[in-house]
Each structure stands twice: as C-alpha cells, then as structure tokens.
Amino acid sequence: MDVGEFVDLITRSPSYRGQVVHAERIPAKEAVYRDLEPSCSVEIAGALERAGISKLYSHQADAVRAARNGANVVIVTSTASGKTLCYNLPVMEELHDNPRSRALYMFPTKALAQDQLRKLCNYNLSFVHAATYDGDTPKRERPFVKNNANIILTNPDMLHFGILPYHTSWAEFFRNLRYVVIDEIHTYRGVFGAHVANILRRLRRVCRYYGSDPRFIAASATVRDAGDLFAELTGLDAVVIDNDGAPSGEKLFLFWNPPVIDKTGERRSANSEAVALLTRLLESQIRTIVFTKARKTAELILRYAKTALREQHSVAAEKVMSYRAGYTPAERRMIERRLFDGELLGVTSTTALEVGIDIGGLDAVIMTGYPGSVAATWQQVGRAGRGGRRSLAVLVALDNPVDQFLMRRPGYFFSEHHERVIVDHANPYVMAEHLVCAAYELPITNEELDCLFGDRAWEVMAVLEEIGEVGFRGKWFWLGSDYPAARVNIRSTSPESFDIVAINGKGVLLGTVDGGNAFETVHPGAIYLHGGESYVVTKLDISSRVAYVEQSEVNYYTTPGTRTRVEIREQVESRSLGIAEVAFGDVTVTSRVTHFWRKRLYSDRVIEKVNLDLPESELATESIWIVISEALTDLIIGRGFDLAGTIHAIEHAAIGVMPLFALCDRQDIGGVSHHSHPDTGGRATVFIYDGHAGGIGLSRAAYENISELLAVTLETLRDCPCEDGCPSCVQSPKCGNNNEPLDKSGAFFVLEEILRPNVAECPT
C-alpha cells in the first residue's frame, strides 16, 4: 500500500479522532550534478562506477574541490545526500597519490563506524586498508590495526583514552596523518561537545609534534552556524558546503497529537498512539521505524505491537525487532543486516539508529515525542524514503511544553529555524581535565596554551599548578604518577561518578551516575530503571561512591524533593526587559535532597512522602536571572495572583521551551524562583542555570535570545487549553517541590506585561 493511501485509510477509520493537526507535503527534488575537474584517477573512478556512482552531486564536487585546495571543510546537507563521499573521495585520492599517508575517521557511535567500514571495503581499492579501532576491537588485533591500516575508524572515547596517551606507539601514523574526518558533528554538543573540542585540540598538538598538519573534514545534519560549530570544536576555520544537490522523493509529514481523554486536559499516551500506527503500517506491508527517547519505551512499543499483531494472526509479528544500546555488537550487526536485506518489516529504536547507518529502504518513520531539535528530527525523518521513493513521517507529540507548542505552531518547525549547537570548549572544569591529559602526553608550551586552548587556559593552568597537578620549567609538565585520561568521563563535567551495583545479581555493575546527579537519582529508596527492569536503591554508600540496588517489580516510581538556593557570584551582563531586568553571570547553586515521593504508576497519585538525610551539594555554574521590578510585583499582588506561584510557573514554562533555542535536553537546565532574593535587592527573581559545572553555554544562549524565549513561553501558556496548569505548559516532571505552588494565570499576566512592546512579534 502507498503511504498516501495509508493516510487516507487511517483518517477515515472509526477510531480516528482528529489526531492529524498538520500535514506538510514536501515535494520531490531533482538532483543537481557538477563535474569534478580534474577528474578522479582511473582506479578510483572505476571503484565509484562499481558502486553505482557515475556523477557527483553539486555539494560533493564542491567539497572535494575545497579539500583539494587545502581547506578544512564542513558539509551540511540532508540525510542520505551522500555526505560520506565528500570525505571518502579526497581521502582515497590522497592514499592513491601518497601510499604512506594516513587518515583518522571519528564517529559518535561504534555502529556508524562499522557501517562506514563496510562501505570503504566495498570500494575494493587495493591501496585502501581500513579498520576500526574501538572498544570492540579485540586486543590481539590492535597492534596489527595500528601498524597496517591507513584509515583508522574510531570514536571520541577511544581517541581520548586509547590513542592519544599512547601516541609514541602511533608515531608513524601521526607523522603521516593527512586527513581527520569528524562525522555527525551536530551530536557533539553540551558537555560531550566541550570534551570532544578539547580532545581535538590535544590531537592537533600531537600531530604538530610529529610534524603533520592534517586537514579536517566534517559532516553534519542541518544546523545553524555550522562554521561556528566547526571552529568551536576544532579551533580552525572551514569552508561551509550547504548547497544540497541530492535528489529526494516526496515526503508526507504528519504532526499527530494524541486526543484529550478527560476534563483535566490529559492526552492519550503517545506510546499507545505509536503502537496503533506501527501495527497498521506493518499490516499494510509498509516498512517502518519507530524512534523513542528511552530504551524501555522502545521495548514496550515492540512488546505491545507484537501482541496486537499476534492477536490478529499477522505474519508481521515476527518481522519486527527493537534496536538499542545494551545489545552486543553481534546482535546489533544482525539487526542492521536484516533491516538492510529487507528481512524485517519494522524496528523500534532509540537514537542509536538516528545517525547515518545504512539500513536500506524504509517507507515510514514514527517519532514518539519531538526528538529535541530540528536537526535531530530531520535526521530521523531522513531514515525513510531513500532512493527517491515517496515516504511518510509522523511526529507523535508527548504531553510537554515543546511538543505541544509545535503541535499548535507547526509553522515554527517548518520555517527553516534551526537551533544553535552549543559548545563551550573553555568550560574550566572540562578544560582542566584535558590540560592534565595533554601535559601527560607532551609538556605544554605557553604558545600552545594561547593558540590551542585560549585565554582561559592560563587561569585554569594556574589552579592546576597550585594544587600540584602540573609544574612549570620552561614548559608545563604533568607531576602525577597515574594515567589521567582514565579518570576523565567525557560525557560529564562531574569529576567522580557513583557505581550502581545489583546485589541480587552477584554484584553486577549496572551502570554509573554523575556525582552531581547521584543524590537525586540513586538516593535510598529511589526506583532505578535499567534494561526495562525496575530496581530499588537499598543503600547509598557515599564514601565509596556506590549505590546498591535490588531488582523488584513495583507499581510506583519515585521523584526527589529538593531544597535549592542560588548565590550570585558575579554579574557579567545585564539589560532592561520591559518593566523587568535580565542579567547573566556566574552563580553557585546549593541543593539538598530532603525527601522523595512514591507515586503510583499511570495515575501519578502520591502514595507516600519519605524524608531523607543527605549532605548538600554545590554547583558552580552560569545562569540568567530575571528580576521582577517592585512596580510589577505590586501589580501581581494587586491583581490577586500568587507571587511565588507566578514566578515558579514562569521558571517551569521557560525551561520547558528552552530546547527550541539550543540543542539540549531539559535535564541540562535547572531553575529556581525566589519571591525575595537577597542578591537582587529583595526583589522577586527567576533563575535559569546550566545544570553542569562551569556552564555549557545554555544560559548564555537564553540571555542572547531572551525576548524570543519569553515570547514562545507566553504563547505556550496562551494556547494551552488547561485552566490551572498541566504538563503541556507549567508542570515539570523534575520539580523538587512537586509542582507547588504554580499560578499559570499570574505567569501569563507577567509575561504579557514584560513583553508588551513586543507581543506582536510572537512567532506564529
């Protein structure tokens, strides 16, 4: 069945309740080709011909030409537009012309590296010797790979702790390194991006030590300011190639909002809607992928879909699988192969299949919840319709501010508005860890501090010298005796993590949690989810940094209650905001988890409140704060609004829509509202801060876009049909005060007053 016929079928069915709130038809696009002058060598041209490539798209030819001219390049085109050839072709030409040359490819996931290795091998070129070097590479094979491969495919983690610290054994490789490829650069954001930016600076100085100066080629999904992102990650300028010449088939993109099921405004589960869509698509023999935000959700949707299909005696029940982190490499390769070969009709997946692994021709994509960014959404949408076929994409909304805003304002999504990818390589906590690693690898010169790490590195190095990590004798030397890279978690700014150990699983290590989040996540009595199973935290050993958990099937979940205060250390910038004021600067956030609530699954009813006795934790970070003037405060009270509930609602709603402005997760952002803050002259103040030590650039982005951020917040409150506040507007799932007090009407009034001169500019 054609996807257009399928949409007609479901919108005419008796169970349809107007869920399609917007349908966008994206027309097919013809290819734009461009000749490459001079043309490739006969051997390379023959390999391309065997792969079905006889002509280059315009962006491919432009990228190769820029690389040939010695430029660094970043390619920003759509999914399945052939970005891989943009870097493979210059690398193959270099290896053909100079047999001693080497190339390093960095991918965010092992699966993507494996997929790209397969493509390189399929060219069957005698002078290309490619191999992966990551955690899945057997130790006995690593020396052979190191000494014989001229293209090494790896990931940031292995480059950080498995290659750079051992650079002396890689001397021949680094001496002849001519290209560094960074694929999917839009995934390197926030804390992870800050770590990767410092790793790449360490890579550049090691290359310089061995006398090489490789060119960098990066590929990305469509993001805003790709050149700036490249510069922040690498410290280098690049030519941006964004003239997408690839063809594409027609795409039908549906915004699907689950129907309201009761008077409170609560909507039917997005998971249930996704299951219903998936089963009908599979019954219609339409090959489909369902993206979810969590492993457990991927497994639940698979289980429910299989059950429904088996009840209907459908053969499709045995042709759908899940794909997520946690599977063995062999299991992942098997699922990828079955998808590529067409043995599977459907798959449920986390973002593990979002990036460019070639899984063959799919016809439909279901996204269970907004993926968090315009770029990620188009990445997922691009998994269907390869080869110019007509395809279907369905975004099933969750009941939260961002998803519901987009359901009411689809034009905002389709307006070519893309979020900024926020990366701050100069985060002092992240930089300190990598300066220590760099000093371990090679003594650091003052010139390297300036040109590679920047001005803030001097301040950080002074602190490292004071605490005895480094010493200066003409150069900066590592003074320790351990292996510093081993203690750096490149997915976090927290210096230490807690291990999570299952006591009824023979002491199996289930995972780790950042030290900064441990008290909220694995406090005694907390429910911890892993691999679709629930565990109860029976003991938290703070001195040993271990949380002991026991598997248990329970009918409740837990949320922590916290007491948080913010102290302003330094105000860096400020400006007026109507009859309020907004400022940006450095703050210290002190919080204590004082209790937790046990809440009934599905109903969210509070079963019990349990007190805790845990120490305070401190977070030095960056924040914006909105200061309510005394005149506006008098208006709030005079109109009968709850002052504390009003600013609390503004805090929640603004944090809820932050992912529309910067590539981030809601968990990356924290907030506090105070009806009379001592650091702002006793005035009512709303703080929105980065949830990672040192800050990762999110609050600065909020400061730079404060008028637009508050305008979207106002629109979210205005358009939400609830009366007193709900998860779609002002209620937060991570609120430490159990969403009390909240005054939606007061928040709406205040935002209107603040934005009165700009209300007409709210996005539509």
| Residue 340, CA distances (Å) to 357, 468, 670 in order | 10, 54, 42
**Is 356 in the same domain as 462?**
no
Tokens at residue 189, please?
């954001």
**Is 213 in the same domain as 276?**
no
Q: Which domain holds residue 547?
A: 497-554
**φ/ψ of residue 752, rounded to 5:** -60, -45
**Is 574 in the same domain as 722?**
yes
Tokens at residue 56, please?
């280059």
What is the C-alpha separation between 25 and 339, in angstroms, rounded? 27
What is the C-alpha separation between 507 and 34, in angstroms, rounded? 60
Tokens at residue 271, please?
């998971």
**Is 481 in the same domain as 376?**
no
Q: Which of 182, 155, 187, 151 is nearest to 75 (CA)?
A: 182
Domain boundary among 487, 520, 535: 487
What is the C-alpha separation between 635 and 630, in angstroms, rounded? 9
Domain boundary among 241, 271, 304: 241
Query: Are the CB atoms for 305 and 316 separated by under 8 Å?
Result: no
At residue 25's C-alpha, the angle toward residues 4 and 379, to 5°, is 100
pLDDT value at residue 110? 83
Whether 32 is covered by a domain: the verdict is no
**Is 518 in the same domain as 478?**
no
Whether 420 is covered by a domain: the verdict is no
What is the C-alpha separation between 534 and 40, in angstroms, rounded? 57
pLDDT value at residue 375? 79
Whether 422 is covered by a domain: the verdict is no
Quote the number of domains for the chain: 5
**Residues in the chain with pLDDT < 70?**
263-265, 324-329, 332, 352-360, 386-388, 416-418, 492-495, 505-506, 530-532, 602-603, 666, 757-764
Model confidence pLDDT, tens digit, residues 76-88: 998 878 999 999 9
Model confidence pLDDT, tens digit, residues 245-295: 999 899 999 999 999 887 666 788 899 999 999 999 999 999 999 999 877
**Is 177 in the same domain as 102?**
yes
| Residue 176, CA distances (Å) to 172, 265, 640 in order | 6, 63, 72
Whether 132 is covered by a domain: the verdict is yes
pLDDT value at residue 353? 62
Model confidence pLDDT, tens digit, residues 147-160: 999 999 999 999 99
**Is 478 in the same domain as 535?**
no
What is the C-alpha separation between 631 and 750, in angstroms, rounded? 11
Whether 111 is covered by a domain: the verdict is yes
pLDDT value at residue 764? 43
Whether 706 is covered by a domain: the verdict is yes
Whether 142 is covered by a domain: the verdict is yes
3-state helix, strand, coil in the chain (%, to 5): 40, 25, 35
- CATH number of the domain that 127 lies in? 3.40.50.300
**Is 207 in the same domain as 228?**
yes
Q: Crossing angle, helix 226-234 and helix 190-209, to 10 degrees?
A: 60
One-character DSSP codes across 356-421: S-----B-EEEEES--SSHHHHHHHHTTB-TTS--EEEEEEPPSSHHHHHHHH-HHHHTTS--PBP
Domain boundary among 440, 464, 487: 487
**Is 294 in the same domain as 373?**
yes
**Is 594 in the same domain as 520?**
no
Residue 309 CB burial class (10 angstroms; 0-12, 13-18, ≥19): buried
**Is 691 in the same domain as 718?**
yes
At residue 317's C-alpha, the angle toward residues 316 and 320, to 5°, is 80
**Is 57 in the same domain as 105?**
yes
Whether 418 is covered by a domain: the verdict is no
